[in-house]
Structure 1
């Protein structure tokens, strides 16, 4: 029997207190393929009460016990791997090959990493005559997005379990099925009652109730900066910790010594990955002015490598964006680029040729983009790249940092010392030099309006703990 219309609370699948169905749409067809239930304040109260009741006992379990639990969760995740890939492809339109190799994989990778971290993590140590301890912060409310659903669920739930926290998860109502499967995994491995709870629903109802709840000690939120501000305001009344991973408008600086054919092609591919729906996407490609024309031609060719279409077809490598709301926003921004005078290199407004249904966006590249244009300032969250010329290294650094965001930055150069020098001046939480592979052990989070706190690996585990010092502990 499907659990799509149920919530997971206190170790059981339960019906909502007041049933309210929410349609879940396949973005490749624009058709409803299932429904979930929308939770209420009363459902949140029930879930938080279960988490609060479970906290005292679970927080006092040993690190070894929690490690064994995480290993069991990882093993069950591995068993459900294909179910997860199929679900993420259906709910958000990811090409099935990408759903397997990236979307499902990164959830698995986070669980593997937290298992590795737990084996050496120091929850308690002596410093002088003091005992310094890291203890579970308490009951955690978690709000996760639709664009990388398993990434965000596992990089929150895994460290929270490791720390000894209990939790209530609200997955995105736009892409909720992976969250339901993950809850089934937690149930099937026998996570203790009340430790993990899941309530589906709208952010303005379930998310707001979690954020303001007096029995929630911490909110961990990933999503838009606009929604993150609302979470922080709601949480302020109870002075709870708020961890946020928000928007981005990441620069990709190609220094003159870069291998342009390789790095421009990689930059286009990285931007279009996940249909451009990544908060750390390298959406602004900054290039030397005297190489601008060369870059335009390389980017034009690179954009032609992408075939937009059915995510379940082997002939396409770029799926739709997640919703009509997202599609309309992207179309508006593409049109603004044209209207404001940017040079359209590839793509443009409207559906790709041969497609009449689905939220498909033409892979779009603009050149000669200037800082005042909307496409240079606003997070588009679609397959739209802005190429921006610069006149000096100082100018590139200044323009790269000329954003309210600071999640990621990218620097390309065959002169590694120069790349390091520029990387050290970028105001971003993570800087990537020469397109390295994904490193799950790196800290992930942002400066400025990209949020606060860090996720991934031991950085994430740190953020789910409080630090306690017991002075005089070592005295005779």
Structure 2
């Protein structure tokens, strides 16, 4: 334990910091140094239930407020996030391992924008519509349990609680126990914004304790979960017993399909970058690059040149382009996958299973492996800086390989023209496809097909997830 360790003794329930009932704490480690940077309380089922009941008690008053009032609160939170950018970026950089400059822009800048954008979405939304002799109205679904991951922690929290709250819902958040410090800072910002008691609640803890209360409690109307497919199945199973609405944003094994007429250098460089963001700890990362077999050797050389630019180092070192992974367990899992790939006969294009030479930190070499579509690494989500290159013989086989996993979250197509690339993109069973390096659109729907989940996030699409339909029928007037 170091002198810089921050100890958080409380949960945020019903508008105030409430001292934890249990003395048990959860450690938070700096991913670059392995030092203990913080502790948070291990929440109990009773504390989770208290938060749910506070959210239930606050729902009627909050949902009855004018939309403009709720949107104005979101604007205050957006301003608060911007004002505390340095604190949030430093916390996430140390927790997750993304280099500081990038964390400021991506891990904090994105959420700050989303808080303000969801306020705009709510203000511009058509809440009522006449359909024949009916008035169709949209209303908040109720109390929402939000269970969020560690890889983009503030972003995933924001994409759930901001649209839910401005829609009129009240929320209980269980942030990742691996990266909870940013959530505690956000709770401070929300408190300072003056949002009424019970509208937002935060209980730290483990999934089998706190998360399962949110998934099973009869006073929770919806659970929104982002994480692994395995954990998402458990959430869905538990939530089904009370017929909750369930939104699941789960794993991915996204394919970047490089067509024969593509600009090969741009395609390889773009795919490597899309794979390595956040050291590969991104559910929609383009982790499979599908290339014409006849151009495999060209791709290898280009990939080696591209990956050489991704310098690895501590997240606070300005020279680092890739930081560490989030934890020792995640590092060991990724190294295990690399070893499996090599054991199955992979062509080691770059990197490998030897970790970089740092005294401390959860580091993995950025790695590129040439494999077959039937290999383990063509199917399993690795969640680290590992790109696999899979050759194909023709376009039909490329589409078949792209669609051959249980996932369908992201992807890309690189072709000589946008039109030729779009033809292939339309055949891919996945929620988003980037055409020739098209950038991420934060107002477009984000979510997956198949076992990548249910529901969508971002913009109006993410906002509508938290609304119910109600039809009010009127007797038609005579004549």
Task: Give the TM-score range, shorter chain.
Answer: over 0.9
CA contact (8 A) 2:341 2:376 kept: yes
Match of 1:16 among 14, 20, 23: 20
Q: Is the 8 A contact 1:129 1:474 kept in 2?
A: yes
Q: Distance in 2 between matches of 1:288 and 1:5?
A: 56
Specify the alignment match of 1:443 in structure 2.
445
Aligned to 2:428: 426
- Measured in 1, the distance between the counterparts of 2:438 and 2:188 equals 34
Counterpart in the other structure of 2:358: 355
Q: Deviations over 1:15-67 (max 9, x none)?
A: 11223111111111112111110101000111001000000111111111111
Whole-angstrom distance in 1 between the partners of 2:16 and 2:212: 24
Deviation, structure 1 residue 473: 6.8
Give the Å deviation of 1:475.
4.8
CA displacement 1:219-257 (0-9 Å, x = unmatched): 000000000011111111111011000000000001112
C-alpha contact 1:142 1:168 (8 A) present in aligned 2:
yes
Q: 1:271 aligns with which of 261, 269, 275?
A: 275
Give secondary structure in 2 for the equivalent of 1:36. Answer: strand
1:474, distance to aligned residue in structure 2 (A): 6.6
Over residues 337-370 of structure 1, what are the superposed CA-to-partner deviations in whole Å (9 max), with x where a residue is unaligned? 1000110011001211x31321100000011x11
Structure 2 stretches of 5 or more lacking a match?
none
Is the Cα–Cα contact under 8 Å of residues 6 and 39 in structure 2 kept in the other structure? no
Single out whichever of 121-130 and 278-287 deviates more from structure 2.
121-130
TM-score (norm 2): 0.97
Alignment of 1:61-460 (within 5 A): 61-352=65-356, 354-367=357-370, 369-460=371-462
Task: Tell me how far 1:183 sits from its aligned partner.
Answer: 0.7
Q: Verify: 1:47 aligned to 2:51, yes or no.
A: yes
Q: CA RMSD in A?
A: 1.3
**Shift of residue 438 of structure 1?**
2.0
Secondary structure at 2:445's aligned position in 1?
coil
* Count of residues paired in the alignment: 474
Q: Distance in 2 between matches of 1:63 and 1:93?
A: 38
The Cα shift of 1:106 comes to 1.5
- Partners of 1:23 and 1:323 lie apart in 2 by 11
Q: Indicate the SS of the match to 1:150.
A: helix
Q: Distance in 2 between matches of 1:247 and 1:285?
A: 17
Normalization by structure 1: what TM-score? 0.98
